[in-house]
Structure 1
Amino acid sequence: MKQDLQNVTDYTNNNTIFMVWNFKDNAEVRIVFNQLCKLVINLNNSVNVRFPVSRASCVMGIGYDAWHQLNLPLPLPKELVNFVPVTGEKHTAVSSKGDLHFHIRADNTSICYDMAAAISDILEAVATSAEEIHGFRYWDSRSILGFVDGTENPQGQDREFFSMIGDDDAAYKGGSYLFVQKYIHNLSAWKTLSTEQQEKVIGRYKSNDVEMADDVKPANAHIALANVGDDFKIVRDNMPFGNISTNEMGTYFIAYASTFSTVEKMLNNMFIGSPAGNYDRILDFSTAKTGSLFFVPTFNMLDELSSE
């Protein structure tokens, strides 16, 4: 990873905390934000020195409304907007407010906890926590549904190409678009399906993660619709989460992308369908509860913002 880039290209870790914070109305947020930028830089430097093999990092993203409330530089990143819901005949990709997003990860849970606590200590005076999800690696990177998640992720240097803004938006080159959704799974309904039926919903064989042949894979299978072509990829870092006693089990979908339009193509295919009406069958068992878009600055950008 290049020194200046927030760690959007790393591979899925064992432990993750996702946090969404919203600024309070009329709060004096700019001074706190400046402190927060310095803190995020410091946290990343510190964990790299103290725990060099832990693969620990903290990535901060900034939402559209927060950008304006903080009086950050104009024009904005070209595709930074408030996410507009994608509504199909049966399912909707909802939109939810998000001013700041934090993606905290490490092999050691204690590191995640301490970074989250440090961020919360600074923010709690001017912002409220809208979401906090503790994700974990489930077996060999499987979702709670039992299938491997993220097989189509780009690998190696392609991760940087597909996740980071390029020369087409030179002022924000090296930054990234970050889109997140919290999905809750209906496991009771899912478990009524046979393994063969589940495989047709996903488009892969459950035990070995091999993709079905095109003449076998249903047109409404998840990977048939979520994969929009080799030229349009994203870096996913999805993590399962859950509370067994409340039966709130789900997947936190997180995508880093060089263009948000790539994510929009996926969402349109999944929720509206391709063609319209041929929606992603997985949505009959997985409900999107949130949906927010953020911009992830480089460390140099964070340093400049903290000095303004």
Structure 2
Amino acid sequence: MSDTPIPAAVTFEPQAVSTQAKRSAIFIVMTIKPDAASHATVRAWCADIAGLVRAVGKRIPDGGLSCVCAFGCTAWDALFGAPRPAGLHPFREFGAGERHAIATPGDILLHIRADQMDLCFELATHLMSRLGDAVTTVDEVHGFRYFDQRSMVGFVDGTENPVGNEAVHFTVVGEEDPQFAGGSYVLVQKYLHDMAAWNELSVEAQERIIGRTKLDDIELADGVKPTSSHSSLTTLDENGEEVKILRDNMPFGRPGSGEFGTYFIGYARSPAPIEQMLENMFVGRPPGNYDRLLDFSRAVTGCLFFVPSASLLEALAERDPNAPANRN
């Protein structure tokens, strides 16, 4: 992780990446139709997003409405041309067979958050209406906050998230890629859980898999916590310092259909730490010492996106991917 400073926020204001956790969320992943008219529609839409968030959010000022918009690698090239954010590339797959972090289609991600689902729903409706038939929705998840920020498997989620200036340091691109300062990378995966099998385990067995106590969310001591625990494999150190990402995972499900899941979303200053965590989980550290939570949880989607700064997002409406200045 680079220690280079973050440029002045007044110039490179980030989107609402590190906003405080909310009660409700909608995640929408889209693909863009491969024609010039659809590309033009999406570019013009970039200038509308902030205004729509303000308009809907003003109706319930304390509702905490926010929206993050991000773009995949292929979409960036088609919509905006060069240069591309330095770390933006197709989703990297890890593992194989039943334990596989798969890549799935995704050109645009919307991460909409609020304390009330009606705010999320209203904003999503307006944003999608502006896009019309220029896009195809390939995944949509409506997430909810589960009691005291519990995951679907019953443990508190996001305990070690960075906050304040630390969150900015770990999630916002700085002078290492100055053309995209103020931006972030975001990786999403949808996990489905075998809750029947999970609930057959004792609480003690579940705690050894997660690496924390279930009731009071205390990390297990090193002599007790297995090296294959989820918390062990998702803790990264670089030169003696912990490297963090910002998670805002949300449970979702349809009990009548037997669907119980977690929508993983992780923001970072570079894709590298999130990808290292996935490799540790799905392949193992060392190989074979994989995350035992994956015996009960299956990843069914996987996409990597870049979140431009708020100012760049609006400016992208005027970006010409074929302009000579953009060819390099």
Fold match (TM-score > 0.5): yes
Structure 1: distance between partners of 2:20 and 2:26 = 15
TM-aligned CA deviation for residue 119 of structure 1 = 1.4
8 Å contact kept, 1:43–1:58: no
- 1:305 equivalent in alignment to 2:316: yes
- 8 Å contact from structure 2 (residues 92, 275) kept in 1: no
Residues 242 and 27 (structure 1 numbering): CA distance in 2 closer, same or farther, change over 3 Å? Answer: farther
Structure 1 segment 291-302 matched on structure 2, within 5 A: 291-302=302-313
Counterpart of 2:67 (choices 58, 64, 67) is 58
Q: CA deviation at 1:26?
A: 2.9
Shift of 1:108: 1.7
Q: Decide whether the 8 Å contact of 1:141 with 1:149 is kept in 2.
A: yes
Counterpart-to-counterpart distance in 2, 1:257 and 1:100? 17
**Aligned twin of 1:224:** 232
Matches within 5 A, 1:14-163: 14-26=23-35, 28-47=37-56, 49-70=58-79, 72-88=80-96, 91-163=99-171
Matched residue SS, 1:231:
strand
Q: Could you tell me how far apart the structure 1 residues matched to 2:193 and 2:140 are? A: 18
For residue 291 of structure 1, report the CA deviation from its aligned partner: 0.5
Q: Contact 2:57/2:119 (CA < 8 Å) preserved in 1?
A: no
For 1:10, the equivalent position in structure 2 comes to 19
| Shift of residue 231, structure 1, vs aligned partner | 3.2
1:90, distance to aligned residue in structure 2 (A):
5.4
Note if contact 1:47-1:57 (Cα within 8 Å) is conserved in structure 2: no
Q: Secondary structure at the match of 1:177?
A: strand
Q: Structure 2, unaligned stretches of length 5 or more?
A: 1-8, 320-328
> How far off is 1:24 after superposition?
2.0
Once the two structures are TM-superposed, the CA of residue 49 in structure 1 deviates from its matched residue by 4.0
What's the TM-score, normalizing by structure 1? Answer: 0.95
Q: What letter matches 1:81 in structure 2?
A: H
Q: Could you say what secondary structure the match of 1:150 adopts?
A: coil
Q: 3-state SS of the aligned residue for 1:130?
A: strand
SS in 2 for 1:122: helix
Counterparts in 2 of 1:27 and 1:249: CA distance versus 1, 3 Å? farther
Distance 2:287 2:37 in 1: 46
Q: Which residue of 180, 195, 199 maps to 1:191?
A: 199
| Corresponding residue for residue 237 of structure 1 | 248
Describe the shift of the 1:27–1:241 C-alpha distance in structure 2 as closer, same or farther (beyond 3 A).
Answer: farther
What's the CA shift string for 1:14-33, capped at 9, x where partnerless? 01000001112336223211
* Structure 1 CA distance for aligned equivalents of residues 98 and 27 of structure 2: 28
Equivalent residue number for residue 190 of structure 2: 182
- Alignment match of 2:177 (pick from 169, 172, 175): 169
Name structure 1 gaps, 5 residues minimum.
none
The reply on whether 1:284 has 2:292 as its aligned counterpart is no
**TM-score when normalising by structure 2:** 0.90
After superposition, give the CA deviation of every residue in 1:154-190 in whole Å (9 maximum; x if it has no partner). 1221111111111100100110001000000110110
User: Which residue type is aligned with residue 140 of structure 2?
Assistant: E
Q: Which amino acid aligns with 1:84?
A: R
Cα-to-partner distance string for 1:7-66 (whole Å, 9 max, x where unaligned):
001122101000001112336223211332122111233345443321110110001111
Secondary structure at the aligned position of 2:219 is classed as coil
Identity over the aligned pairs, expressed in percent?
A: 42
Tell me how far apart the structure 1 counterparts of residues 55 and 95 of structure 2 sit (CA, whole Å).
43
**Other-structure match for 1:249:** 260
Contact 1:88–1:273 at 8 Å: present in 2 too? no
Q: Distance in 2 between matches of 1:87 and 1:235?
A: 23
